[in-house]
Structure 1
Amino acid sequence: MADEEVAEEEVVSVGGPLVSETLISPAGAEKPLAPPKYEVRPGLGEKFQAENVREIILQTMQAQLTGRQYRADQAAHWSKVIANAVRQKVQELDMKRYKIMAQSTIIEMKGAGVKCAQRCIWDPETDAYVDDIFKNDTIFCYTIVYGVYMY
């Protein structure tokens, strides 16, 4: 019985007839909590927005690299700026419960071939990635964004 709160009745006299007030404890005034909601899959309109992400990647690479020539001392900095800007803009799309990862690679165009591969263990129904390429006479930039749904 110690855990249960009991309403107490108090009688107040203020120069007139007796007035009865019922005091309710704060614990009794709280609404019961709704049962927890476990989201295992994103809702219909909450999936990874691949086309919007592709536009962000392309616009960011063009803004950073158009008109530039490859410089080995600046390539690492440009790559970081592109990856950070893409990740920030994709996060502003507010895709709830998605972990966003962005990677950008800049190499010099010298006629050599490039091969890239990624391997991940993920859920193909919820997780996705988008990549795009920017090329000019001296720069080859490859940027990829991963969206992994957090269960």
Structure 2
Amino acid sequence: MSSLRPDIYTLTTIRKLSASSVRTHASSTQSSGRGGLAGREGGGRTTVIVENTYKTEPDVKFPVRKVQGIIKDVLESRLGEERYRPEDSNGLAMELAETIKTRVKALQVPRYKLVCFVHLGTGKKSEVQLSSQCIWNPDTDIYADFTFTNHHMFAVGIVWGIYYE
């Protein structure tokens, strides 16, 4: 891209760069027919100024209830009457977290980064306390969680939705 002069950017390229402030020149509407690059001999130049597109609030809120339903469905359908086995718990937790993350991504909530966490433990009257910390905007960032238990084990699934400005 550095070999191209700023005066031959296409409007498509400028739109892709619209997240930052760009000042460049683009030829008018004539195209050379190769990759959309505009020819120089067809007319005057137009100055295109693209402004920042920072959005501090989401257009669509993170669907907490739907995500809780996904976590619940994945944990209950996969674990059912599963017994806790320490040697298998790492792979199982990673599999569950990946499945939850994939299903939440399918909701296509724009501008949210997802962090998915699954913790498994034995159900033998054990007590576990989990804690997490991060820089958080309470107006836009949110989480959904669900705790599954049976007679042999427990599982905690959490999905954090962090709004990306």
TM-score range, shorter chain: 0.7 to 0.9
1:95 aligns with 2:109: yes
The 2-side partners of 1:130 and 1:59 are apart by: 13
Q: Deviations over 1:12-36 (max 9, x none)?
A: xxxxxxxxxxxx9446487956644
SS in 2 for 1:130: strand
Which residues of 2 match residues 1-151 of structure 1 at below 5 A?
Answer: 25-26=41-42, 28=44, 32=48, 35-43=51-59, 46-151=60-165
Alpha carbons 1:56, 1:89 under 8 Å: kept: yes
- Name the amino acid aligned to 1:93: L
Higher relative contact order (CA 8 A, sep 6+): 1
The 2-side partners of 1:116 and 1:86 are apart by: 19
- The match for 1:15 is none
Specify every segment of 5 or more residues in structure 2 that has no aligned partner in the other structure, as ranges.
Answer: 1-6, 8-24, 26-39
- The match for 1:19 is none
Specify every segment of 5 or more residues in structure 1 that has no aligned partner in the other structure, as ranges.
Answer: 5-23
RMSD of equivalent CA atoms: 2.3
- Name the amino acid aligned to 1:112: S
- Name the amino acid aligned to 1:49: P
Closer/same/farther in 2, CA of residues 112 and 67 from structure 1, 3 Å limit? closer
Alpha carbons 2:81, 2:152 under 8 Å: kept: no
Q: Which has the larger radius of gyration?
A: 1
Q: Percent of counterpart pairs with the same letter?
A: 27
SS in 1 for 2:100: helix
- Name the amino acid aligned to 2:83: Q
